Amino acid sequence: VIYPYFCSHCHKKIQDAADIMLIENALSRPYCSEKCIVSYHSKIVDYFEDLENSIRESNNLFEQDIFSEVFDDNKIVQSLLARPDEVWLDVSDLGEHYYFLFKEIEYKGIRLNLIGISLFYFNKPSMLLFHTITQHQMLLNLYRLGRKVDFSVDNEDSTIVNEDTNQESDSIDKNDSGIDPEILQALEKKKSEYLADFLNIRSHNDIAIEKFHLYEKYTKQVLSEPDEVFKMIDGDQDQILTYVKSFLDKGQIFFYIVVCLKVEEDFRTEQDVLIPIITFPSTDSELYQRYKLGEKISRSLRN
Ligand SMILES: [Zn+2]
């Protein structure tokens, strides 16, 4: 079947898939042209402007005359997009990814903060929905929504072993993965340790373990498009990578967490291999905090 594509704004059929314009990784919302991209988002642009006005009015946060000079300076706005000091990501209930950019500049001897809200496509801002300038720290803090993200660290090349946990013994016997059998044995031990920890700290009100199999389908997406990745060296001196992604299912937000062991270099492909140790869904934000293991590294946008 050849599936048809229609512009999300004008609904025109896009004949050649190569002509589809996408501006977000989080959503596959196709557009036929830049004009349609801008029109589609015009209400959101208005919304963020109104929001700013009402925040400024209710908190008495007004700026000096210099504001409009900087606001209209395209070079300054471009520098916010190209080299922000800070980026925060907030995900709406529908899964839309809003990125909040911050940059401090000095203009005619005055310290100013640039704030932008943008959509992102492959780690780069793709559409600026809103920007403003302020000298008020309070306004700045109000826009630090969601969580801070770090694009500065490039993820190392990694391949993912999609191991079916029900066939662990099979994979040891056949050793299809090309992984040292000794490592696989140590892996069994590690898996039971991590499982024991998990059972100890999880809440009884969380998603029932009997239902975990219903969530297994999310593993691949968590690994390929995580919201956050954490890295640590555990007690066995092994590298542990923890991938986290939040989802919305039937109106409820849950996290899906995949804790992986990173094995250096598969001897056949000479690539690093990730082996899931424990994967689970959770609606408990406290548990999610506990699984921020080690230091945060960048989102991985590789497939
Ligand atoms: Zn269109």
Q: How far, in Å, from the CA of 13 to the mean position of ligand 1? A: 8
Q: How far is the CA of 128 from the centre of ligand 1 (A)?
A: 19
Q: In what order do the strands lie in the sheet with 147-149?
A: 124-134, 110-121, 97-107, 86-91, 147-149
CB 162 within 8 A of CB 138: no
pTM of structure: 0.51
- The Å distance, Cα 110 to ligand 1 centre, comes to 43
Q: Each residue of 143-175: pLDDT tens digit? A: 999 999 986 544 333 333 433 333 333 333 434
Mean pLDDT for the stretch of residues 36-59 = 93
Residues 101, 119 contacting (CB under 8 angstroms): no
Contact indicator for 299, 153 with CB cutoff of 8 Å: no
Residues 6+ apart with CB under 8 A from 136: 61, 63
In this predicted model, what pLDDT tens digit does every residue of 172-192 receive, in sequence order?
A: 343 445 556 676 677 777 887
- Per residue in 233-286, pLDDT (tens digit) is 988 888 899 999 999 887 788 999 999 988 776 555 566 778 888 899 999 888
Ligand 1 midpoint to CA 209 (Å): 45
CA of 4 to the centre of ligand 1 (A): 14
Better-scored residue on pLDDT, 129 or 68: 129
Q: What is the pLDDT of residues 198-225, one digit of tens each?
A: 888 888 888 888 788 888 888 888 988 8
- Interatomic CA distance for residues 33 and 115, integer angstroms: 27
Residues 60-115: tens digit of each pLDDT: 888 877 788 888 888 889 999 999 999 999 999 888 899 999 999 998 888 899 99
